[in-house]
Amino acid sequence: YSCNACEQLFSTHQNLRQHRLTVHSDERGFSCMFCDKRFKRRKDINDHIRRVHEKKRDPQACPYCDKVISSKCGLTVHMRTHTGEKPYKCERCPASFAQSSRTALVFHMRTHTGEKPYECGICHSKFAQPSQLKVHTRSHTGEKPYICEDCGACFADKGKLTGHKRTHTGERLFKCDVCGKHFATNEYLKCHKRCHMGAKPYKCEVCGKMFGLRASLAQHSNVHAGERLFKCDVCGKHFATNEYLKCHKRCHMGAKPYKCEVCGKMFGLRASLAQHSNVHAETRPYFCEQCGKTFTQQGALRRHQRIHTGEKPYKCRACERTFTDMSTLRRH
Protein backbone atom coordinates (compact mmCIF):
# COMPACT_ATOMS: atom_id res chain seq x y z
CA TYR A 1 0.00 0.00 0.00
CA SER A 2 1.48 3.32 -1.15
CA CYS A 3 0.83 6.80 0.27
CA ASN A 4 -0.35 9.17 -2.50
CA ALA A 5 1.23 12.13 -0.73
CA CYS A 6 4.78 10.88 -0.07
CA GLU A 7 4.88 7.45 -1.81
CA GLN A 8 5.93 5.68 1.40
CA LEU A 9 4.98 1.97 1.39
CA PHE A 10 3.09 0.09 4.11
CA SER A 11 2.35 -3.59 4.69
CA THR A 12 -1.33 -3.05 5.59
CA HIS A 13 -4.08 -0.63 4.64
CA GLN A 14 -4.61 0.15 8.33
CA ASN A 15 -0.98 1.28 8.72
CA LEU A 16 -1.36 3.47 5.64
CA ARG A 17 -4.46 5.13 7.11
CA GLN A 18 -2.71 5.75 10.41
CA HIS A 19 0.25 7.27 8.53
CA ARG A 20 -2.03 9.64 6.62
CA LEU A 21 -3.77 10.65 9.83
CA THR A 22 -0.61 11.42 11.80
CA VAL A 23 1.82 12.64 9.11
CA HIS A 24 -0.30 14.43 6.54
CA SER A 25 -2.65 16.28 8.88
CA ASP A 26 -1.07 19.57 9.98
CA GLU A 27 -2.05 22.79 11.77
CA ARG A 28 -3.87 24.10 8.69
CA GLY A 29 -6.45 21.33 8.67
CA PHE A 30 -7.32 17.66 8.62
CA SER A 31 -6.41 15.15 5.93
CA CYS A 32 -8.80 12.33 5.01
CA MET A 33 -7.24 8.95 5.77
CA PHE A 34 -9.03 7.34 2.80
CA CYS A 35 -8.19 9.91 0.13
CA ASP A 36 -6.09 13.06 -0.23
CA LYS A 37 -8.81 15.63 0.47
CA ARG A 38 -8.13 18.17 3.20
CA PHE A 39 -10.54 20.04 5.46
CA LYS A 40 -10.24 23.01 7.80
CA ARG A 41 -12.56 21.64 10.49
CA ARG A 42 -12.86 18.21 12.13
CA LYS A 43 -16.63 18.36 11.57
CA ASP A 44 -16.10 18.73 7.81
CA ILE A 45 -13.81 15.71 7.55
CA ASN A 46 -16.19 13.60 9.67
CA ASP A 47 -19.08 14.57 7.37
CA HIS A 48 -16.94 13.75 4.34
CA ILE A 49 -16.05 10.29 5.69
CA ARG A 50 -19.67 9.47 6.47
CA ARG A 51 -20.96 10.71 3.10
CA VAL A 52 -18.27 9.35 0.77
CA HIS A 53 -16.44 6.46 2.39
CA GLU A 54 -18.72 4.85 4.97
CA LYS A 55 -21.18 3.72 2.29
CA LYS A 56 -18.58 1.15 1.28
CA ARG A 57 -18.03 -0.04 4.84
CA ASP A 58 -19.82 -1.99 7.53
CA PRO A 59 -22.03 0.63 9.24
CA GLN A 60 -20.64 -0.38 12.64
CA ALA A 61 -16.97 -0.47 11.56
CA CYS A 62 -14.49 2.05 12.96
CA PRO A 63 -13.17 4.24 10.08
CA TYR A 64 -9.78 4.43 11.79
CA CYS A 65 -8.96 0.79 12.53
CA ASP A 66 -11.72 -1.31 10.82
CA LYS A 67 -12.84 -2.79 14.15
CA VAL A 68 -16.56 -3.65 14.06
CA ILE A 69 -18.48 -2.49 17.14
CA SER A 70 -21.77 -4.09 18.18
CA SER A 71 -23.68 -0.82 18.69
CA LYS A 72 -23.68 2.71 17.30
CA CYS A 73 -23.19 4.14 20.79
CA GLY A 74 -20.24 1.82 21.38
CA LEU A 75 -18.72 2.85 18.05
CA THR A 76 -18.97 6.53 19.03
CA VAL A 77 -17.14 5.84 22.31
CA HIS A 78 -14.54 3.64 20.59
CA MET A 79 -13.70 6.30 17.97
CA ARG A 80 -12.70 8.67 20.77
CA THR A 81 -9.65 6.47 21.39
CA HIS A 82 -8.46 7.65 17.95
CA THR A 83 -9.66 11.27 17.97
CA GLY A 84 -8.77 12.01 21.59
CA GLU A 85 -12.20 13.57 22.14
CA LYS A 86 -13.24 13.74 25.82
CA PRO A 87 -16.66 15.43 25.97
CA TYR A 88 -17.51 14.65 29.60
CA LYS A 89 -16.05 17.38 31.83
CA CYS A 90 -15.58 17.36 35.59
CA GLU A 91 -17.32 20.39 37.13
CA ARG A 92 -14.72 20.70 39.89
CA CYS A 93 -11.40 20.35 38.05
CA PRO A 94 -10.04 20.39 34.45
CA ALA A 95 -10.28 16.59 34.07
CA SER A 96 -12.28 15.26 31.10
CA PHE A 97 -13.34 11.79 29.97
CA ALA A 98 -14.30 9.94 26.80
CA GLN A 99 -17.11 7.90 28.37
CA SER A 100 -20.38 8.79 30.03
CA SER A 101 -21.11 9.34 33.71
CA ARG A 102 -21.71 5.65 34.34
CA THR A 103 -18.00 4.86 34.14
CA ALA A 104 -14.84 6.96 34.40
CA LEU A 105 -16.45 10.29 35.31
CA VAL A 106 -18.49 8.95 38.22
CA PHE A 107 -15.40 7.21 39.64
CA HIS A 108 -13.41 10.43 39.22
CA MET A 109 -16.06 12.49 41.02
CA ARG A 110 -15.55 10.32 44.09
CA THR A 111 -12.06 11.80 44.44
CA HIS A 112 -13.85 15.09 45.18
CA THR A 113 -16.82 13.78 47.19
CA GLY A 114 -14.87 11.18 49.17
CA GLU A 115 -17.59 8.60 48.48
CA LYS A 116 -16.35 5.01 48.93
CA PRO A 117 -19.27 2.61 48.46
CA TYR A 118 -17.25 -0.62 48.13
CA GLU A 119 -16.31 -2.22 51.47
CA CYS A 120 -13.86 -5.03 52.23
CA GLY A 121 -15.64 -7.86 54.04
CA ILE A 122 -12.48 -8.77 55.98
CA CYS A 123 -11.08 -5.49 57.35
CA HIS A 124 -13.93 -3.10 56.38
CA SER A 125 -11.68 -0.75 54.40
CA LYS A 126 -13.67 1.23 51.84
CA PHE A 127 -12.93 2.05 48.21
CA ALA A 128 -14.27 4.28 45.45
CA GLN A 129 -14.05 1.64 42.69
CA PRO A 130 -14.75 -2.11 42.58
CA SER A 131 -11.38 -2.69 40.90
CA GLN A 132 -9.64 -1.08 43.90
CA LEU A 133 -11.50 -3.39 46.27
CA LYS A 134 -10.53 -6.41 44.16
CA VAL A 135 -6.83 -5.50 44.32
CA HIS A 136 -7.07 -4.77 48.06
CA THR A 137 -8.70 -8.15 48.77
CA ARG A 138 -5.57 -9.81 47.43
CA SER A 139 -3.63 -8.33 50.38
CA HIS A 140 -5.68 -10.68 52.57
CA THR A 141 -5.69 -13.72 50.30
CA GLY A 142 -2.06 -13.38 49.21
CA GLU A 143 -3.09 -13.75 45.58
CA LYS A 144 -0.59 -12.25 43.13
CA PRO A 145 -1.72 -13.27 39.64
CA TYR A 146 0.56 -10.94 37.66
CA ILE A 147 4.05 -12.41 37.17
CA CYS A 148 7.10 -10.71 35.65
CA GLU A 149 8.49 -12.91 32.87
CA ASP A 150 11.98 -11.48 33.37
CA CYS A 151 12.57 -12.13 37.08
CA GLY A 152 9.54 -14.03 38.39
CA ALA A 153 8.36 -11.25 40.73
CA CYS A 154 4.62 -11.44 41.46
CA PHE A 155 2.11 -8.61 41.86
CA ALA A 156 -1.51 -8.24 42.95
CA ASP A 157 -2.04 -5.26 40.64
CA LYS A 158 -1.46 -5.28 36.86
CA GLY A 159 -0.39 -1.62 36.97
CA LYS A 160 2.35 -2.46 39.48
CA LEU A 161 3.63 -5.20 37.15
CA THR A 162 3.71 -2.71 34.25
CA GLY A 163 5.72 -0.27 36.36
CA HIS A 164 8.03 -3.03 37.60
CA LYS A 165 8.82 -4.15 34.04
CA ARG A 166 10.29 -0.73 33.39
CA THR A 167 12.96 -1.46 36.01
CA HIS A 168 14.26 -4.06 33.54
CA THR A 169 13.94 -1.92 30.40
CA GLY A 170 15.06 1.32 32.06
CA GLU A 171 12.05 3.08 30.53
CA ARG A 172 10.92 6.19 32.46
CA LEU A 173 8.01 7.90 30.73
CA PHE A 174 6.78 10.18 33.51
CA LYS A 175 8.58 13.51 33.96
CA CYS A 176 8.48 15.83 36.97
CA ASP A 177 7.59 19.34 35.77
CA VAL A 178 9.44 20.85 38.75
CA CYS A 179 12.91 19.31 38.53
CA GLY A 180 12.77 17.35 35.25
CA LYS A 181 13.45 13.94 36.81
CA HIS A 182 11.86 10.94 35.06
CA PHE A 183 10.05 7.99 36.64
CA ALA A 184 8.88 4.54 35.56
CA THR A 185 5.26 4.99 36.70
CA ASN A 186 2.85 7.84 37.33
CA GLU A 187 2.53 6.61 40.93
CA TYR A 188 6.28 7.04 41.48
CA LEU A 189 6.04 10.53 39.98
CA LYS A 190 3.19 11.52 42.30
CA CYS A 191 5.13 10.21 45.30
CA HIS A 192 8.22 12.14 44.19
CA LYS A 193 6.27 15.40 43.79
CA ARG A 194 5.46 15.30 47.49
CA CYS A 195 9.17 16.01 48.09
CA HIS A 196 8.65 19.40 46.44
CA MET A 197 5.32 20.09 48.13
CA GLY A 198 6.14 18.62 51.53
CA ALA A 199 2.74 16.90 51.40
CA LYS A 200 1.95 14.06 53.81
CA PRO A 201 -1.70 13.20 53.13
CA TYR A 202 -1.83 9.82 54.90
CA LYS A 203 -2.57 9.95 58.64
CA CYS A 204 -2.28 7.15 61.20
CA GLU A 205 -5.62 6.97 63.03
CA VAL A 206 -3.90 5.63 66.16
CA CYS A 207 -1.06 8.09 66.82
CA GLY A 208 -1.70 10.86 64.27
CA LYS A 209 1.65 10.51 62.50
CA MET A 210 1.55 11.69 58.87
CA PHE A 211 3.09 9.99 55.83
CA GLY A 212 3.72 10.93 52.21
CA LEU A 213 3.07 7.39 50.95
CA ARG A 214 0.13 5.05 51.58
CA ALA A 215 2.61 2.15 51.73
CA SER A 216 4.59 3.90 54.47
CA LEU A 217 1.41 4.33 56.50
CA ALA A 218 0.54 0.66 56.02
CA GLN A 219 3.98 -0.43 57.24
CA HIS A 220 3.80 1.98 60.19
CA SER A 221 0.38 0.62 61.18
CA ASN A 222 1.98 -2.70 62.11
CA VAL A 223 3.62 -0.93 65.06
CA HIS A 224 0.27 -0.68 66.79
CA ALA A 225 -1.36 -3.63 68.53
CA GLY A 226 -4.17 -5.54 66.88
CA GLU A 227 -2.85 -5.20 63.34
CA ARG A 228 -1.56 -8.78 63.00
CA LEU A 229 -4.71 -10.72 62.23
CA PHE A 230 -3.22 -13.93 60.83
CA LYS A 231 -2.19 -16.51 63.45
CA CYS A 232 0.07 -19.55 62.97
CA ASP A 233 -1.75 -22.64 64.30
CA VAL A 234 1.60 -24.32 65.07
CA CYS A 235 3.40 -21.77 67.24
CA GLY A 236 0.76 -19.07 67.77
CA LYS A 237 2.77 -16.26 66.17
CA HIS A 238 0.74 -13.50 64.46
CA PHE A 239 1.36 -11.87 61.07
CA ALA A 240 0.14 -8.76 59.27
CA THR A 241 -0.86 -10.59 56.07
CA ASN A 242 -1.85 -14.10 55.03
CA GLU A 243 1.12 -14.14 52.66
CA TYR A 244 3.54 -13.60 55.57
CA LEU A 245 1.79 -16.39 57.49
CA LYS A 246 2.12 -18.85 54.60
CA CYS A 247 5.81 -17.97 54.26
CA HIS A 248 6.33 -18.49 57.99
CA LYS A 249 4.62 -21.91 57.97
CA ARG A 250 7.28 -23.23 55.61
CA CYS A 251 9.73 -22.86 58.52
CA HIS A 252 7.76 -25.56 60.35
CA MET A 253 7.31 -27.78 57.30
CA GLY A 254 10.81 -27.31 55.88
CA ALA A 255 9.30 -27.05 52.41
CA LYS A 256 11.49 -25.54 49.70
CA PRO A 257 9.71 -26.18 46.38
CA TYR A 258 11.56 -23.61 44.25
CA LYS A 259 14.91 -24.59 42.72
CA CYS A 260 17.56 -22.35 41.13
CA GLU A 261 18.35 -23.72 37.66
CA VAL A 262 21.89 -22.30 37.83
CA CYS A 263 23.26 -23.57 41.16
CA GLY A 264 20.53 -25.93 42.39
CA LYS A 265 19.82 -24.05 45.62
CA MET A 266 16.28 -24.57 46.96
CA PHE A 267 13.91 -21.88 48.27
CA GLY A 268 10.61 -21.79 50.11
CA LEU A 269 9.31 -18.81 48.14
CA ARG A 270 9.18 -18.00 44.44
CA ALA A 271 10.09 -14.41 45.32
CA SER A 272 13.18 -15.62 47.22
CA LEU A 273 14.26 -17.60 44.17
CA ALA A 274 13.72 -14.53 41.97
CA GLN A 275 15.82 -12.41 44.33
CA HIS A 276 18.52 -15.09 44.46
CA SER A 277 18.61 -15.22 40.65
CA ASN A 278 19.88 -11.65 40.67
CA VAL A 279 23.14 -13.00 42.12
CA HIS A 280 23.74 -14.92 38.90
CA ALA A 281 22.39 -12.23 36.58
CA GLU A 282 24.23 -9.45 38.46
CA THR A 283 21.14 -7.27 38.20
CA ARG A 284 19.82 -4.75 40.71
CA PRO A 285 16.21 -4.22 39.56
CA TYR A 286 14.98 -2.34 42.64
CA PHE A 287 15.86 1.34 42.80
CA CYS A 288 15.12 4.14 45.27
CA GLU A 289 13.13 6.99 43.70
CA GLN A 290 14.53 9.43 46.26
CA CYS A 291 18.28 9.01 45.73
CA GLY A 292 18.67 6.54 42.84
CA LYS A 293 20.44 3.81 44.83
CA THR A 294 19.76 0.28 43.49
CA PHE A 295 19.23 -3.04 45.27
CA THR A 296 19.04 -6.74 44.38
CA GLN A 297 16.12 -7.36 46.76
CA GLN A 298 12.85 -5.55 47.32
CA GLY A 299 13.17 -5.99 51.09
CA ALA A 300 16.53 -4.23 51.04
CA LEU A 301 14.96 -1.34 49.13
CA ARG A 302 12.14 -1.06 51.70
CA ARG A 303 14.63 -0.95 54.57
CA HIS A 304 16.68 1.69 52.76
CA GLN A 305 13.63 3.87 52.08
CA ARG A 306 13.10 4.26 55.82
CA ILE A 307 16.18 6.50 55.80
CA HIS A 308 14.16 8.98 53.75
CA THR A 309 10.78 8.52 55.47
CA GLY A 310 12.10 8.35 59.04
CA GLU A 311 9.83 5.37 59.61
CA LYS A 312 10.71 3.01 62.48
CA PRO A 313 8.06 0.26 62.45
CA TYR A 314 9.70 -2.13 64.96
CA LYS A 315 8.96 -1.29 68.60
CA CYS A 316 10.50 -2.67 71.79
CA ARG A 317 7.71 -3.80 74.12
CA ALA A 318 9.86 -3.19 77.20
CA CYS A 319 10.93 0.43 76.66
CA GLU A 320 8.87 1.43 73.57
CA ARG A 321 11.97 2.48 71.63
CA THR A 322 11.50 2.07 67.87
CA PHE A 323 13.85 0.77 65.15
CA THR A 324 14.03 0.72 61.36
CA ASP A 325 14.49 -3.07 61.06
CA MET A 326 13.92 -6.27 63.03
CA SER A 327 17.60 -7.20 63.32
CA THR A 328 18.40 -3.92 65.10
CA LEU A 329 15.46 -4.48 67.45
CA ARG A 330 16.71 -7.98 68.29
CA ARG A 331 20.22 -6.68 69.04
CA HIS A 332 18.67 -4.01 71.30
What's 260's domain CATH number?
3.30.160.60
Domain identity same for 330 and 262: yes
In a domain, 170, yes or no: yes
Instruction: State how far the Cα of 68 lies from the Cα of 79, in Å rounded to an integer.
Output: 11
Instruction: State how far the Cα of 133 lies from the Cα of 152, in Å rounded to an integer.
Output: 25
In a domain, 2, yes or no: no
In a domain, 291, yes or no: yes
Give the closest residue to 138 by CA, choosing from 42, 44, 242: 242
In a domain, 188, yes or no: yes
Query: Do 242 and 121 meet the contact criterion of CB atoms below 8 Å apart?
Result: no
In a domain, 26, yes or no: yes
In a domain, 89, yes or no: no
Domain identity same for 285 and 330: yes
What is the structure's pLDDT at 285?
Answer: 66
Determine how β-strand 154-155 pairs with β-strand 88-89.
unpaired
What is the structure's pLDDT at 27?
Answer: 45
Task: Estimate the crossing angle of helix 158-169 against helix 186-197, to 10 degrees.
Answer: 80
Domain identity same for 133 and 195: yes
What's 29's domain CATH number?
3.30.160
Instruction: Give every residue of the chain whose pLDDT is below 70, as ranges.
Output: 11-12, 14, 18, 21-29, 54-60, 66, 100-103, 206, 222-229, 240-241, 271, 278-285, 292, 296, 332
Domain identity same for 191 and 136: yes
Domain that holds residue 162: 118-199
Instruction: State how far the Cα of 42 lies from the Cα of 148, in Å rounded to an integer.
Output: 42
Domain identity same for 76 and 124: no
In a domain, 272, yes or no: yes
Give the closest residue to 110 by CA, choosing from 129, 97, 95: 129
In a domain, 243, yes or no: no
pLDDT above 70 covers what percent of the chain?
83
What is the structure's pLDDT at 321?
Answer: 81
Report CA-CA distances (Å) from 30 to 35, 78, 209, 322: 12, 20, 55, 64
Determine how β-strand 88-89 pairs with β-strand 38-39.
unpaired
| Counted domains in the chain | 3
Residue where one domain finishes, among candidates 178, 199, 220: 199
Give the closest residue to 323 by CA, choosing from 315, 239, 204, 219: 315
Instruction: State how far the Cα of 318 lies from the Cα of 127, in Å rounded to an integer.
Output: 37
